[in-house]
Amino acid sequence: MTHQYIHVVVPRDAVDKVIEVGEREGVTLAGISAAKGPVRTVSFLSTHKVQQKLLDDLQRALHDTPDWKIAINPLDAVVSKSREDKAENETEISETREELLAQISRNAGLTPTFLILVAISAVVAALGMIGDDVAVIIGAMVIAPLLGPVLGSILGVTLGEKNLIVQGLLASAAGIALAVAIGAALGVVLPFDVTTGELAARASVGFENIALALASGVAAALSLTAGAASVLVGVMVAVALMPPAAAIGLFLGKAQWLMAGDAALLLAVNLASIHLSGQLVFIVRGVKPRTRYRQAKVRQAIRFSLAVSGALLVLLAALIAWQVLVVR
């Protein structure tokens, strides 16, 4: 999607101001609604290259204007002879701040549907590990809805959206806790061998797990900012979170405390790695608040988040090294 419609709904006396803001290269005035009622809709056809700047300037210009709204309507294709449009088709597309917030906010909440999907995914993942069936475990990851809350907390820090941070952390914590509880219940009820390959693998932590989780965070954040988020990326993140959480419960249900501790270590490593790499990708991709004042306020929070994730990852890596060199 190289072009998008930007629809600006404003009082009729603000129409000229909106049109003036849209007068720039890469933006075409597509129309103004008929003169009926106290409001008008001004529509622009914008290339992706200038869309974020256009949105920022519109919000800045309409700051003191009451009752305004901006709607973004993506287009699948635009047919044009313009050389600029052809060049735009060859550039890399990135989502705007507003699109990222809207997309993540929809999937980061703690809802009944979220909990049901987590519960189903935890049961399927647990049974897959008990039966040593990789295909069943992958199937559980397809329906695991953990990507939204994880990215929500990371994006919330990046943009200084406190509500999104709380929303993402709460949903992530609830989802992981539910998966552990379901695993524990199955561990008490079902007879199985804790040394089966897929289950025992969650009690074995190595440096390759850090690399996998870092790659998962990069893939998730990069696909989201590039406007190419897919189910497969969600599966990659879920693989790093759901099986270890369910395995913790299974081990606890069988009173295998050391193996449960190792699974908890794996889960902590994956969470820290995903948060660190995802945060760095958002920074590199230029995701930041609209105003300089908000950017200055968020800068310290981002540094703190990176420091905590990095320090935790180093500590966990040291613990892994100790296990590899001493315990094993």
Q: How many whole angstroms separate alpha carbon 265 and alpha carbon 205?
A: 7
Q: How many whole angstroms separate alpha carbon 215 and alpha carbon 236?
A: 9
pLDDT, tens digit, 9 for 90 and up, residues 16-61: 888 888 888 888 888 888 767 788 888 888 887 788 888 888 888 8
End-of-domain residue from the set 89, 109, 135:
89
pLDDT, the chain, mean: 83
pLDDT, residue 127, reads 93
Same domain, 123 and 46: no
Taking alpha carbons only, the member of 135, 140, 133, 148 closest to residue 199 is 133
pLDDT, residue 313, reads 87
Same domain, 213 and 291: yes
Residue 89 has pLDDT above 50, yes or no: no
User: Domain holding 74: CATH number?
Assistant: 3.30.70.120
Same domain, 297 and 251: yes
pLDDT, residue 228, reads 58
Same domain, 245 and 180: yes
Domain that holds residue 216: 97-327
Q: How many whole angstroms separate alpha carbon 54 and alpha carbon 209?
A: 42
pLDDT, residue 93, reads 47
Contacts of 279 by beta carbon, 8 Å cutoff, 6+ apart: 154, 157, 158, 221, 302, 305, 306, 309
pLDDT, tens digit, 9 for 90 and up, residues 100-148: 787 788 888 889 999 999 999 999 999 999 998 888 888 888 888 888 8
For the CA atoms of 44, 291, 94, 173, the dihedral, rounded to the nearest 10 degrees, stands at -120
Residue 82 has pLDDT above 70, yes or no: no
pLDDT, residue 90, reads 43
- CA dihedral over 300, 304, 307, 313, signed as positive or negative: negative
Same domain, 73 and 127: no
pLDDT, residue 37, reads 78
pLDDT, mean of residues 166-183: 93
Tell which wins on pLDDT, 237 or 150. 150
Residue 63 has pLDDT above 90, yes or no: no
Same domain, 109 and 15: no
pLDDT, residue 20, reads 87
Same domain, 70 and 118: no
pLDDT, residue 227, reads 63
Same domain, 138 and 210: yes
**38 in helix, strand or coil?**
coil
End-of-domain residue from the set 29, 58, 89:
89
Same domain, 60 and 101: no
**Given pLDDT bands bounded at 50, 70 and 90, which one contains residue 293?**
confident
Same domain, 185 and 147: yes
End-of-domain residue from the set 66, 89, 112:
89
Same domain, 103 and 41: no
Same domain, 182 and 320: yes
pLDDT, residue 231, reads 58
Taking alpha carbons only, the member of 231, 205, 202, 203 closest to residue 141 is 231
Model confidence, pTM:
0.74
Contact 50, 27 (CB under 8 A): yes
pLDDT, tens digit, 9 for 90 and up, residues 231-275: 566 777 778 889 999 999 999 999 999 999 989 998 998 899 898
How far CA 15 is from CA of 72, 74, 148, in Å, comes to 18, 23, 37
Q: How many domains does one find in the chain?
A: 2
